[in-house]
Amino acid sequence: MLQVPFIRENQDLVITRLAKRNIDATKMIAEVISLDEERRKTQAELDNTLAESNALSKEIGMLYKSGKADQANAIKDRTAQLKADSKALTERLNNTSEKLEELLSKIPNVPHESVPTGNTDEDNEEVFREGDIPDLGDNALPHWELAKKYDIIDFELGNKITGAGFPVYKGKGAKLQRALIWYFLDKNTAAGYQEVQVPHLVNEASGFGTGQLPDKEGQMYHVTGDNLYLIPTAEVPATNIFRDELLKEDELPKALTSYTPCFRREAGSYGAHVRGLNRLHQFDKVEILRVEHPTRSYQALDEMVNHVKTILEELKLPYRILRLCGGDLGFTSALTYDFEVFSTAQDRWLEISSVSNFETFQANRLKLRFKNSNGKSELAHTLNGSSLALPRVLAGILENYQTEKGIKIPEVLVPYTGFSYID
């Protein structure tokens, strides 16, 4: 959530940067300023009213002690009016503050200056590409046919048990899935990320803190009986570890990694681009996140991007990195890099990771601060990234590593799987 002082001091910048998201924020920003001025004015009136009331109360006490009851009683009429005024002012202040908070919660993060202007994913900027796309010949199969051929993922069984988007992994498919999780976690912990296991359900405060709530698009599964939400990513519970925390400056950075299943209600369109593992309602993901000092958060973002690059290079999958345009940028992000792996059998790029810097946007919602060298509390910067999301990585491995002998396992994963081929 944007801070009101930042908006007041940078109105033109906020409006210009939000225009990159194809949002005309002129009216919203004007309303924020208006509500903040009303809030400040009401707060000042309330403070003056309370101060006068307190002063009169002391004066009344002194008059009673001096035997001047008539004068004291005369003043009491004024204190009664001040009490009624303070109640009315408090109600007005609360209403104004609620309106201001509600409006602020609807305003997305301000894009970083490097974010390109654009409307859709077609306007994203490719900044890096690595790996050769293999020539699999005319008989190459998409992963959903390979899964059926080798009996490693059963989409129909998952549909029977739950519904579409909930596959069942079997045999070597389940072992490959587990191997990827272990491998990702080992890579992340070796890079200095502390592994944590977190709840798969969160409360409203946690969902609001990381920006998933209010959930305008209905993407989160809601357990209505307990008013809890199934997590869409480990980012939500892991980042909320630091909610309402005041850290010491020398405690930064905080770096965590976590494996969780992820749940998303997203209603997808139909067609080959959402078949198989391309879009699921439940999937596994290993996440990395950082809480950083504001002066080095963009250096940390580059480090996270380079870390994900090393994983894909070890898996020897052809991939590219995109800088997301304003129209494709997530609500909470200031700058996001998407990683995509090339699916040779589908002849298309599949998103497998997003690495983002949220600057102070989440920290403001979370009330996540640190005490700086001057002894003042300051909002930290938060970052997170997929390292990695499994379904499309698995799809990329199945399709790019298919051979006449079977599906070859990437060399780096063999110590984790215990086998070299799925045949």
3-state secondary structure string across the chain = CCCHHHHHHCHHHHHHHHHHHCCCCHHHHHHHHHHHHHHHHHHHHHHHHHHHHHHHHHHHHHHHHCCCHHHHHHHHHHHHHHHHHHHHHHHHHHHHHHHHHHHHHHCCCCCCCCCCCCCCHHHCEEEEEECCCCCCCCCCCCHHHHHHHCCCEEHHHHHHHCCCCCCEECHHHHHHHHHHHHHHHHHHHHCCCEECCCCCEECHHHHHHCCCCCCCCCCCCEECCCCEEECCCCHHHHHHHHCCCEEEHHHCCEEEEEEEEEECCCCCCCCHHHCCCCCCCEEEEEEEEEEECHHHHHHHHHHHHHHHHHHHHHHCCCEEEEECCHHHCCCCCCEEEEEEEEECCCCEEEEEEEEEEEECHHHHHHCCEEECCCCCEEECEEEEEEEEEHHHHHHHHHHHCECCCCEECCHHHHHHHCCCEEC
| Mean pLDDT score across all residues of the chain | 94
Q: Give the model's pLDDT for residue 174.
A: 98
Q: CATH number of the domain at 121-422, out of 3.20.20.70, 3.90.25.10, 3.30.930.10, 3.20.20.80?
A: 3.30.930.10
Residue 10, pLDDT score:
97
Q: Does residue 6 have a pLDDT over 70?
A: yes
Could you tell me the pTM of the whole model?
0.92
Condensed to tens digits (0 to 9), the pLDDT of residues 94-139 reads 999 999 999 999 999 999 999 999 999 999 999 999 999 988 888 8
Nearest alpha-carbon partner for 380 in 397, 360, 394, 400: 360
Tell me the fold of 4-106: Helix Hairpins (1.10.287)
Reply yes or no on whether the pLDDT at 4 is more than 50.
Answer: yes
Other beta carbons less than 10 A from residue 157's beta carbon: 13
CA distances from 173 to 286, 318, 341, 388 (A): 18, 21, 19, 17
Per-residue model confidence (pLDDT) at position 273: 61
348 is in an annotated binding site: no
- CATH 3.30.930.10 placement within the chain: 121-422
* 231-270 confidence digits (pLDDT tens): 999 999 999 999 999 999 999 999 999 999 999 987 554 4
Annotated binding-site residue? 353 = yes
Q: What digits encode the pLDDT tens for the residues 52-66?
A: 888 888 888 787 777
What whole-number distance in Å separates Cα of residue 20 and Cα of residue 14?
Answer: 10
User: Is 287 annotated to bind ligand?
Assistant: yes
* Residue 386 predicted with pLDDT over 70: yes
pLDDT band at 67 (very low <50, low <70, confident <90, very high): confident
Cβ atoms within 10 Å of 279's Cβ, excluding its own:
19
229 vs 231: CA distance, rounded Å: 6
264 is in an annotated binding site: yes
Share of the chain above pLDDT 70, in %: 98
Residues whose CB falls within 8 Å of the CB of residue 188, separated by 6 or more in sequence, listed in order: 195, 257, 286, 288, 307, 387
Q: What mean pLDDT is predicted for residues 346-370?
A: 96
Find all residues with CB under 8 Å of 419, minimum gap 6, and list them.
172, 175, 409
Cβ-contact 285, 385 below 8 angstroms: no
Pairing of strands 194-195, 369-371: unpaired
Q: What pLDDT score was predicted for residue 71? A: 75
The answer to whether the beta carbons of residues 353 and 344 sit under 8 Å apart is: no
pLDDT above 50 (res 371)? yes
Q: How far apart are CA 310 and CA 138, in angstroms?
A: 31
Q: At what angle do helices 11-18 and 26-65 cross, to 10 degrees?
A: 140
- Report whether 400 belongs to an annotated binding site: no
Which positions ≥6 away from 156 have C-beta within 8 Å? none
Q: What is the pLDDT of residues 202-230, one digit of tens each?
A: 999 999 999 999 876 688 999 999 999 99
33 against 345, higher pLDDT: 33
Question: How many Å apart are CA 180 and CA 285, to the nearest integer?
Answer: 10
Q: What average pLDDT does range 302-319 have in this prediction?
A: 98
Does residue 354 have a known ligand-binding role? yes
Stretch(es) of the chain classified as CATH 1.10.287.40: 4-106
- Residue-level pLDDT at 216: 61
Instruction: Name the phi and psi angles at 229, rounded to 5.
Output: -125, 135
Any binding-site annotation on 119? no
**Contact assessment for residue 351 and residue 392, using Cβ atoms and an 8 Å cutoff:** yes
352 annotated ligand-binding residue: yes
Angle at 353 between CA 114 and CA 183, to 5 degrees: 135
